Structure 1
Amino acid sequence: MSARREKRRGPTLLRGDQVDLTTTDQRLLDSRGPSDWVHTDPWRVLRIQSEFVEGFGALAELGPAVGVFGSARTQPDDPFYAVGEQVGRRLVEAGFAVITGGGPGAMEAANKGASEAGGVSVGLGIELPFETGLNPYVDVGVNFRYFFARKTMFVKYASGFVVLPGGLGTFDELFEALTLVQTQKVTSFPVVLVGVDYWSGLLDWLRGTVLADGKVSQADLDLLHVTDDVEETVALMVAGMARP
């Protein structure tokens, strides 16, 4: 086989028809041509980088914090809205900052409890077509374009998770946290599901189907604590901080 043309562009190797006849510097400095380069994947990398920089900069000195997840659809007259407020308040009184997704519903409730208790109330927002901005009880807010950048901030800066009743977004955050602990990608931290009646069906399925079929171990399920008691929830977060 005859040798093909070869060119290296930074860490990228190009061969054959993929070899171009210009240089990166030339393309950078040339003001002619279309402007659609700003929408390509390499440019997105810089946007992604900027989101990590903004998040790290905003939260680097946050101190001990707990992430609170829950449905954006929880209404102020829902009993779990009041529970969310209690959770936010008691976490602050126990020495934690509170981090939520910054949206309405259960997230707003936890931020409200934390802010009114004089603590640090953090909201990590995400650009969505059906949600508008951060709730008014967020004292430190960062808005993200990318879910994975936002999720990194939750995992990096929270030392435990409290999960109020929620839907698909809440499930996503819950199971990602459990997966990271199970695979030892992060140091183990407490995960508490608040609402025994709400979560019992999921736990029954995990035990009766997933565990019974050998798809998880009992140790995996032991990562989850389920309670209706706000004081127990906070105590589990404090105990998690005390573990080496």
Structure 2
Amino acid sequence: MKRTRGRIVHVESLGDLDRRLAAGARRLSGWRVRAVDLTGHTAELRRCRVAGASFLGCTFAPGVADDLSAAGALVLPAIPDVPVDVHRAALYSPGDLYDTELYDGSLDARAYAWAQRTGATEHELAKTLHDHAVDQALQAWVQGRQLVGVMGGHAALRGERGYAEAARLGHLLGARHVVATGGGPGAMEAANLGARLAGRPARELEAALAELAQVPSYRPSVTAWAAAARTVTDRVADPRETLGIPTWHYGHEPPNLFATAVAKYFRNSVREAILLEICDRGIVFLPGAAGTVQEVFQDACENYYADESSTAPMVLVGEEHWTRTLPVWPLLQALARGRAMESHVHLVDTVEEAAALVGGG
């Protein structure tokens, strides 16, 4: 993500706008006014210098939007029949996405169903605007935080050893860093769970794992799967921060409820690149299939061309998996040989070893 300079002022209510104007604000450069009804504020707007301001999804009196554009403001109208806020200023919470008791009626399900439609130009524009807004919100969120990524297969079921190992890894890493995952089920959910409980005794994590094992998968019922997770999150009043970055491209896989912040994208290619980029403290790769292999070599490509100061640890967990089941490790070693990344790529057999290598244990 590109870093931006300057102060951005988010205005999301008429009251907030009125307070700022009453305090003497007249230069609106850098302001982002979102989804505010400004039909009664024509005179106030005309007293301001609006060059460099953005009005996103706002409504105006006739002719005012054209006047603002002519004066140098960016005016983007609301797009009808879109389930998501394309100009949102913050990341999602699990409660935003799971906003109904039954999953089929939730924002997450509605957005996925809408995303499957094709052909409407305004819908493609809405997806682009939404992902840009999420990107901006994520850029602001990661400031001042140290992130470690955990990548792994979506197929790990609650109650399985692989799921428990991913949860223990998240618990270890979350003690020092913010754990980021792809935000989906399986190992991703487990790592977010462990990180969320990182400030609590290990016995609480074990109890949560035992409880979740009663509903191993989101199939056949996402509603039941989410309800089981909610019983765990409701007991934790002070969770550690942890990030999920899922995508509606894989909308048949629901986002997990253990990430405290969720950057959900429509475009998977954007999401993949950003997920790897923001993990400045390194990435741990748990056993996975094609998607995890892709992430290994996408990260390897970044590190291959990086200098020593920009190289972050890459830790593969599971010697049998990465040398025989899917022999990624020999090729990764060959790529790293003689490069700045060589001392930063590791193959280990336990999550404890992995956590120690990226500073979490």
- 2:304 and 2:336 in contact (8 A); partners too: no
Partner-residue secondary structure (3-state), 1:143: coil
**CA positional deviation for 1:230:** 2.2
**How many angstroms apart in 1 are the aligned matches of 2:126 and 2:158?**
41
User: Secondary structure of the equivalent of 1:238?
Assistant: coil
Q: How far apart are residue 75 of structure 1 and its match?
A: 1.1
TM-score (normalised: structure 2)? 0.49
Residue 192 of structure 1 deviates from its aligned partner by 0.5
- Paired position in structure 2 for 1:58: 141
Q: Is the 1:85–1:112 contact (alpha carbons within 8 Å) kept by the matching residues of 2?
A: yes
Unpaired segments ≥5 residues, structure 2? 1-68, 70-74, 77-118, 200-239
Instruction: Show the counterpart of 2:155.
Output: 73
| 2:236 corresponds to 1:236 | no
| Runs of at least 5 residues in structure 1 that lack an aligned partner in the other structure | 1-24, 30-34, 240-244
Bigger relative CO (Cα 8 Å, ≥ 6 apart): 1
Offset at residue 203 of structure 1 (A): 4.1
Which structure 2 residues correspond to residues 38-53 of structure 1 after superposition, within 5 A? Answer: 38-39=122-123, 46-53=129-136
- Aligned equivalents of 1:204 and 1:153: distance in 2? 24
Alpha-carbon distance between aligned partners in 2 of 1:154 and 1:231, rounded to the nearest angstrom: 23
Give the secondary-structure state (helix, strand or coil) at the position aligned to 1:38.
Answer: helix
* Distance of aligned partners of 1:136 and 1:45 in 2 relative to their CA distance in 1, 3 Å threshold: closer
Which residue identity lines up with residue 206 of structure 1 in the other structure?
A: L
* Aligned twin of 1:190: 313
Which of 93, 96, 107 is 2:188 aligned to? 107
Cα offsets for 1:55-86 (capped at 9, x unmatched): 2133334x111000001101123211111011
Distance, in Å, in 2 between the alignment partners of 1:227 and 1:144 is 32
Cα distance in 1, alignment partners of residues 149 and 121 from structure 2: 38
The aligned residue for residue 206 of structure 1 is: 331
Structure 1 residues 44, 203: CA separation in 2 closer, same or farther (over 3 Å shift)?
closer
Match of 1:147 in 2: 268
Letter in 2 for 1:163: F
- Inter-CA distance 131–204: structure 2 relative to 1 (3 Å threshold): closer
Query: Is the CA contact 2:151–2:181 (under 8 Å) kept in the aligned structure 1?
Result: yes
Instruction: Report how many aligned residue pairs link the two structures.
Output: 198
Q: Percent of aligned positions with the same letter in both sequences? A: 28
C-alpha spacing 1:37/1:147, structure 2 compared with 1 (3 Å): closer
TM-score after normalising by structure 1: 0.70
Alignment-derived partner of residue 218 in structure 1: 337
The structure in which a higher percent of residues are strand is 1
Distance in structure 2 (CA, Å) of the matches to 1:140 and 1:82: 22
Q: Which range is displaced more, 73-82 or 195-204? A: 195-204
Q: Distance in 1 between matches of 2:267 and 2:136?
A: 13
Change (3 A) 1:39 1:139: closer
Cα offset, 1:150, TM superposition: 1.7
Q: Is the 8 A contact 2:293 2:328 kept in 1?
A: no
- Tell me, yes or no, if the aligned pair for 1:164 and 1:194 is still in contact at 8 Å: yes
